[in-house]
Amino acid sequence: MLHSDSCKLPLLPLFWCNNKKPHLFDFICRACTTLEPATSYYVCVTCGDQFHKECIGSPLEFKHPSYPSLSLQLYSPPSDRVFCSCCQKRIDGLNYYSPTNNFTLHLFCAFKPIPFVIDHPKRHPHPLTIFPKQSFLPCHVCSLIKGHIPTYVCVRCVFVVHQDCIYFPYVIKISRHHHRISYTSSLPSGKWSCGVCRQMVDNDYGAYSCNKCDDYFVHSRCALRRDLWDGIELEGVPEEPEIVVEPFITISDGIILHFSHGHHLKLKISRVYDEKMVCQACILPIYEGGYYSCMDECDFILHETCANAPCKKHHALHPHPLTLTVVTSEYEDNIGRFCCKACQRESCGFVYEDLRGKIGNYRRNKFQLDLRCASVSEPFEYLGHKHLLYLALNPEEEKLAICQICHEREDESSHCRKLNCIECDFVICFRCATLPYKARYQHDKHFLKFYETKEANDHSEWCDACEGRIADLRTRGIYSCNADLRTKGFYSCDDCCTTLHIDCLLGEDMYMKPGHTIMYNMTGFDEHYEKKLRILRNNTLSRPCCSTCGQRCRQKIVFKYKEHHIFCAISCQKHVINYS
């Protein structure tokens, strides 16, 4: 038996082992990646990889009795985003794959015998018999046609169901609704739209409904999406009230003690714009309205709305509860920053994160949202569009959707999540949707409003900061010296005609906090090292030159490495391998 998967040599022999006692803890099959202990197995003495006898004997190609039209080939997936078409679970090792229709099976699912009859009274009162050929009949549970999935029928009731749909859960909790939802095989008469995809729900098929809300229904296929459901069946589990933890203690009228700061904070009203007054939670300036300021004369400031952000919340983008955490320079083993899963911006502000499985600085589930993205809920009112917006796109549609503001797909904008309009074709990514609709500029006493690039003809042609064209998408100067052209649009004052690119007004790294220290783990020249960067205000009389691009730093902040190296943006420091 020969092996060449993980070893660097072309082919290596595998040796047969037959132990009297099974390996209970240290046996992992390299082929199927399961932890099932074995007494008989094959091992590679060079790299230590172990294999089940059954997995080694898997044929390179075979035809499954339930899928006779498919030629299944033994295949090693290039990534961990492959899921079994039978059990719907992720595949980490070898699998059987049909390239003609993207059909994939676990090794153990491929050889698992399929029962001829299934008796499941909870799903259907009569025994269900397997359909002998590929079925192109819609399933009464999920309403989909899956010709490659084993299908069972009840001839007496003309009931059709996929094998995996038979075991669908009955009571679940999804991220898009604040109540539990239950499976029902019969919907009330009327026209209902799905609470997830916003498409019509067919009354002839099963769906999930809310017992507390008369008009909330969800397609079965939508309710069980991995990004919406936590995988827990709640039937028979008592519903306990959620404990609410307040973010602050009220000391007296207008004075609070916030969990994120050790001093008392006093409520004030913003009357004069000062770009140095930055909220510690969202890292945006205090433009107007109420804010809390530290009474001990340190520079800790919070928007009134940010101070009221709950300590725990459920968000539509994640099936598990999120906890509000303060990001300090020691956060995540001194990394001091995080990347928001919705907008993909790096930030030093407060973060909502999934703390499940976190041990020290190690976490198994890394889902993080900044405060602005965490505040987005359905329906979302975007001031630049006349209709309400929803998270109605499924994962495949979201990959292909193009944001109407920045005009980029998911693969180009680092997986930004998107909102869409169900009445027209408008789509906007979280990066653009969470930009401030109006902002202040230090050289203008009025507010500047956000406009799309297509509205540039009604405003000044040039940016007042970088002196580049506003609407010329062919030149790099549209934003700033370091902008990567991901976000298009501009801010303009209707009274003074002041016009600025987004990055020229807010900064390319708008959620980076002055006075903060962040760290990047770098690898170069066969060595691993840490690069600590101090975030400083760019307020010197002479603007420094960037150590990477060589241009004058135009942003409000700069990143300093050691004593003599300055970067004008995070994107510039990422291109640097090492500095002595």
Strand order in 444-451's β-sheet? Answer: 438-441, 444-451, 490-492, 499-501
Task: Look at residue 420 in the predicted model and tell me its pLDDT.
Answer: 95
Q: Which residues have C-beta within 8 Å of that of residue 338, sequence separation ≥ 6?
A: 327, 331, 332, 346, 347, 351, 353, 368, 370
**Highest mean pLDDT pick, 15-29, 108-122, 365-379, 456-470:** 365-379
Distance of alpha carbon 529 from alpha carbon 523, whole angstroms: 6
Indicate if the pLDDT at residue 451 is higher than 80: yes
Residue 24 in this model has a pLDDT that exceeds 80 = no
pLDDT band at 525 (very low <50, low <70, confident <90, very high): very low
Does the reported pTM lie above 0.85? no
Query: Using one digit for the tens of pLDDT, what is the confidence trace for 96-141?
Result: 887 776 778 877 777 777 788 888 888 888 988 888 776 788 999 9
Query: With 80 as the cut, is the pLDDT of residue 87 above it?
Result: no
- Contact predicate 171/208, CB 8 Å: no
Return the H-helix or E-strand segment holding 339. Answer: strand 338-339
Residue 15 has pLDDT above 80, yes or no: no
Report the distance separating Cα 565 and Cα 567, nearest Å: 7
Give the closest residue to 81 by CA, choosing from 364, 312, 396, 339: 396
Which is higher by pLDDT, 100 or 236?
236
Question: Using one digit for the tens of pLDDT, what is the confidence trace for 270-309?
Answer: 887 888 889 999 999 998 889 999 998 788 999 999 999 9
Quick one: average pLDDT of 403-415? 70
Is pLDDT at 360 greater than 70 in this prediction?
A: no
- Whether pLDDT at 472 is above 60: no
- Quick check: 527 pLDDT over 60? no
| Average pLDDT of the residues of the chain | 82
Top pLDDT among 574 and 284 is at 284
**Which tens digit of pLDDT belongs to each residue from 166-193?**
889 999 999 999 999 999 988 888 899 9
Q: For the purposes of burial, counting CB atoms within 10 Å of the CB of 340, is it exposed (0-12), middle (13-18) or buried (19 or more)?
A: buried
Q: Which band of pLDDT confidence, cut at 50, 70 and 90, is reported for residue 357? A: low
How much of the chain, in percent, has pLDDT values that exceed 90? Answer: 37
- Report the SS3 class of residue 304: helix
Per-residue pLDDT, 579: 52
What pLDDT sits at residue 556?
87
Work out the pLDDT band at 64, boundaries 50, 70, 90.
confident
pLDDT greater than 50 at residue 478: no
* C-alpha span between 500 and 59 (Å, rounded): 63
Mean pLDDT of 252-264: 95
Alpha helix ranges (H) inside 375-530: 395-400, 430-433, 502-506
Residue 348: per-residue pLDDT: 93
What is the mean predicted confidence (pLDDT) over 332-357?
A: 90
Structure confidence at residue 9 (pLDDT): 46
pLDDT of residue 364: 57
- Is the model's pLDDT at 361 over the cut of 70? no
pLDDT score, position 484? 42
The residue count of the chain comes to 580
Name the β-bridge partners of 99. Answer: none
* More confident of the two residues 59 and 223: 223
- Burial readout 487-504 (b: 16 or more C-beta within 10 A, e: otherwise): bbbbbbbeeeebbbbbbb
Say how far apart CA 378 and CA 237 lie, in whole Å: 28
Burial of 229 (0-12, 13-18, 19+ CB in 10 A): buried
The pLDDT of residue 496:
86
pLDDT at 75: 78
Convert 225-248 into a string of H (helix), E (strand) and C (coil). Answer: CCCCECCCCCCCCCCCCCCCCCCE
Rounded to a whole number of angstroms, the distance between the first and last alpha carbons of the chain is: 50
- Lowest average pLDDT, out of 32-41, 48-57, 72-81, 399-408, goes to 32-41
pLDDT of the residue at 10: 53
- Residue 20 is predicted with a pLDDT of 52
